[in-house]
Amino acid sequence: MTSSAISRAQAAIFDLDGTLVQSESAWEEAKRRVLAAEGVTIAQADYDAFVGRGLRGFLAHVFGPGLPEDHRDALAARIGAEADVLLPQMRQPISGAASAVVELAEAGLRIAVCSSSPRRHILAALVQLNLADRISVIVSGADLPRGKPDPLPYMETLAQLGLNADQAFAVEDALPGAISAHAAGLTVIGIGGQTLSQGFAPYCRVRVPDYAAFGRLFATVRGR
C-alpha cells in the first residue's frame, strides 16, 4: 500500500524538471536552436516524446542510431550551452515544491534528486529553490550510460543513498521517469495534472494534481 510505503520511507527521491521546476520550455528551445543550426526541423510530437528523457536518446531519435558518438556528444554540449543561457531566464519554481521538500526533510527523510538534466543545471535549480542544503544525493542521467526510462538512474540513486527500493519513494511528473522509478522497484507518486491520465496508472501507486494534495497525503500518512 502507498500509505505504508510512505510511512516507513527513509528517503524521498524527486525528479527535477516538471516536478520541482518548470524548465522544459527552455530545453525545447535549446534543442530547436541547435537543430535549426543543423538544418533540421522535427514535429512537436518528437519534442513531446522526449520530455523527462536525456539528450542521448533524443539525438539518436532525430539523427538515427548511427550518429557517431563524438558528433552526438558535440550536439549535446551545444544544446547544454544554449540551456545555460535560457534556463536562468525561463526556469520557474513549481508552486509548493520547495515547501514540500523542506517538510519532508524536517520530518526526517533524506532527500535525493534524480534527473535527466546535467548536474550543473540541477545544482542551479536547487540554488534557485533554496534547497541545495536539503539534498543528500544528486544523480544526473547525463553522467550514466543509460537514462530514464531505464531504471539505472534510480538504481544509482538508491545505491548512493545506501537504501533498498522499499525504503524510499519517488516523485515524478513525466511518464519516462515514472517508468524508470517503477522498474527500479520504487513506490512512485505521480504529481501534476498530466499524471492523472491512464497511461501513468501502471507505474504510479498514487497520483495527485499538485503539492497541496501531496501535502495532505503526507500529513494523513504520517498522522499529522
- Confidence (pLDDT) at 5: 75
**Same domain assignment for residues 203 and 166:** yes
Residue 116 domain boundaries: 2-22+92-221
Q: Give the tens place of pLDDT for each residue, 96-107.
A: 999 999 999 999
Q: Give the tens place of pLDDT for each residue, 23-56.
A: 889 999 999 999 999 999 999 999 998 887 878 8
**Same domain assignment for residues 149 and 67:** no
Mean per-residue pLDDT, 72-85? 93
**Cβ(118)–Cβ(70) under 8 Å?**
no
**Same domain assignment for residues 139 and 172:** yes
- Where among 67, 90, 113 does a domain terminate? 90
**Same domain assignment for residues 117 and 200:** yes
135, three cell numbers? 539534498
The model's confidence at residue 3, banded by pLDDT at 50, 70 and 90, is low
Total of domains in the chain:
2
CA–CA gap between residue 61 and residue 43 (Å, rounded): 12
**Same domain assignment for residues 110 and 64:** no
The model's confidence at residue 1, banded by pLDDT at 50, 70 and 90, is very low
**Same domain assignment for residues 172 and 109:** yes
Of 222 and 167, the structure prediction assigns the larger pLDDT to 167
